[in-house]
Chains A and B, each alone.
Chain A
Amino acid sequence: MRHEEHAPPASTFPKGSRAVLRQRERKIVIACAEVLLPDGGAIPMSGVEAGVVDYFDDMVAKVPPMTRILLRGLLQLVEHSPTLYGPLKRPVTRLGVEDRRKVLSRLMNSRSYLLRTAFLGLRTVLTIAYFGNEEVVRSVGATPNLEPFARTGVSA
């Protein structure tokens, strides 16, 4: 096994290299990450600690313009979903953690396909960003290995 030799960089996207998210958009990402990927549990590191906000920002910077608009729209949909769909009448960034959990849980289990898809899209992008961190990858045991069967004598 040659795990260490092929370990990925801590984050493929240099942090803050091309930040495009506005402060209020970064706050939405943080507010969601705190609920979706909190600290503790089987993988100790939280999403925010893992750098998901910068990663998300860099992804938004690097995707084509139309995709960028969609990602920004996704953030706004989540931010204003309590106002639009209830039951809480404040944006996500102005809610406490427990209320944010209720809002995101409502999106996750919504009968509306659009809202469920929005939740899954957000969780997927944040999970991608979470796995951009080397320590998270190591925590689940998924450190890349270019020759996992080298000991069995397989050669290219």
Chain B
Amino acid sequence: MIKLGRYEVSSHPHAGVKVFADYHGSVRDRCDVVVVGSGPGGAVVAKELAEAGMDVVLLEEGRPWDVPDFKPDAGAAMVGMLREGGMRATRGNVFMPTMQAIALGGGSVVNSAISVRPPAWVFERWARDHGTELLTASSLDAHFGRVETFLGIEPTPDAVLGERNLAFRRGCDALGMTSEPCPRNAPGCKGSAECFTGCRNRGKGSTDVSYVPAAIRAGARVYTSARVDTVTAEGRLARGVRGKIVDPVSKKDVYDLRVEARVVVLSAGCMATPVILQRSGIGNEHGHAGKHLRAHPGIAVLAVFPHKINPWEGATQGYHSMHDLRDGLKYEVLWSPPPIIATRFPGMGAAFKDQLATFERAAPFDVIVDGSDSEGSVSPRPFGMDPDIRFDIGARDVKKLHDGLCKLLEISFAAGATEVLPGLHGTDPVVRSPQDLDRLRRYKMKPTDPVIAGNHVFGTTRMGSDPKASVVDVDGRCHGTDNLYVADSGVIPSSPAVNPMLTIMALASRTASILAARM
């Protein structure tokens, strides 16, 4: 593997990407490696293998989004760039909203760019529980470093934090909690807080502007609006993939898609990859694909201050506290478009509108928990519909969320908030005093009381040494196959404790280096 250096910033990052208008009939291709999905996993594999001299085809179901396509409008972004119009939710003991992108660059186009290495004890836990001894903080160090260098990952600079992030820092400092600026792949961040709707400053190094262009420069062919349905196989050997070219507007299947390859790498994300495996008759010999869905369930509060915060200014998620990470809790500053945050506001009618008008004095903070007591599954529905996603949040995780919620209130008040909206059914809609907080602490929270979201999802094609308990080995290769790999969040066997993107990319980098050596 070659080049180490930051990605090239281009005013035309999608040059060379094939789009729907380029297709005039069935698409057929042949290559060394076909990679399915251009998010943090697939884009890394495609770039690294193309630079290693492989003939690579990268397939992406979504379309490329250029700066003029990005609108600072929550509805337009959700409908355009997210699966199920941004309204995807799990079923189980709660309806948990979970957002997955459908775009060239996958989730990296719409996430907050947080790029954190897991602590060493995460890999020790994985080794103990899943037999992944080869993965350690030190053995992955070079892969983490390679990704960090290429994406220009740095702690969020003070100059773009803004009052929302600074208030969180003040609160943590006042409580004696450790906190730090989030490392992010956003070297050009200007603090516009538009990560969710697509960065119009192109300050974020999402994979569509970083890894994908590098893959193309190294010779990879990139097809968008190309949905893969199955892996074609003969016995243990994957032969390629089949699917459809999809009209990005009508969403209708238009042409057939078929790519033959010596190696198949599935990076369609932990909600789509297991469904492809379940349909394919390869790579799922013990039936674990789609099982063991894990997540970082999270809840948010809205802290209201006596002074202006202007929460729409400053890095989207620029500060966090890992003070209680060992206990499975991570606290963060949060931002997304105002109507999404407004789910925290109680009431309706004029009172609700009056609450909306306090936005300029409000700062949302969130807590995510490790989800060690929660599990779900992903399975296909008929007629090509989106997958059926089940998820049950366990009692211990509910307790952690409740503890985290109370801690967020402490941080808020320590930062100078005069009231906090906990967004919890069954309790006071506004917390104003220590007595209120004590009452909240005593409250026995049920999983259905708060709005719990889970945007970090993983585990559905988990790695492990035991083929009877996992889907892929530590290299990402599906057990019982010669040449079928997975490189996305699905391989993460249990919580990485932190936001998973960098871990996905480092593991993908490792898989790519192993593949390059094997081929």
Chain A positions within 8 Å of B, measured between CB atoms, are: 6, 8-9, 12-13, 35-38, 40-43, 55, 59, 62-67, 70-71, 101, 104-105, 108, 113, 116-117, 120-121, 123-125, 127-132, 137, 139-142, 144-150, 152-156
Contact = CB atoms under 8 A, between A and B. Distances in A.
B367 to A, nearest CB: 20
A13 B348 contact: no
Given A145-B312, A156-B188, A156-B190, A140 B339 contact: no
Contacts of B194: 144, 146
A9 B71 contact: yes
B372 to A, nearest CB: 24
Chain B CB count within 10 A is highest, among A37, A42, A128, A149, for A128
Contacts of B192: 144-148
Interface stretch (B16-24, B174-182, B355-363): B355-363
Interface stretch (B31-39, B74-82, B493-501): B74-82
B65 interface: no
Contacts of A128: 74-75, 78, 337, 339-340
Given A116-B425, A144-B312, A156-B190, A63 B85 contact: yes
A127 B350 CA distance: 13
A42 B190 contact: no
26 contacts: A6-B72, A6-B200, A8-B71, A12-B71, A12-B73, A12-B76, A41-B350, A42-B356, A42-B357, A59-B79, A67-B84, A67-B85, A123-B352, A128-B74, A131-B73, A131-B74, A139-B357, A140-B359, A142-B359, A145-B313, A146-B190, A146-B194, A148-B193, A148-B313, A149-B162, A156-B190
Interface in B55-112: 71-76, 78-80, 84-85, 87, 94-95
A63 B77 CA distance: 11
A154 B74 CA distance: 27
Nearest to A110: B425
A124 B448 contact: no
A156 B72 contact: no
B484 interface: no
B139 interface: no
Chain B contact residues, majority secondary structure: loop
Contacts of A153: 159
A112 to B, nearest CB: 10
Interface in B183-204: 187-194, 200-201, 203
A104 B348 contact: yes
A34 B187 CA distance: 45
B5 interface: no
B290 interface: no
Contacts of B312: 142, 144-145, 148
B373 interface: no
A11 B314 CA distance: 25
Contact of A37 (B160, B313, B314, B353): B353
A59 B353 CA distance: 22
B385 interface: yes
B518 interface: no
Interface in B149-178: 157, 159-160, 162
A38 B350 contact: yes
Contact of A43 (B78, B190, B357, B451): B357
Contacts of A127: 339, 342, 356
A141 B310 contact: yes
Interface in B278-335: 310, 312-314
Contacts of B314: 148
Contacts of A6: 72, 200
B12 interface: no
Contacts of A150: 190
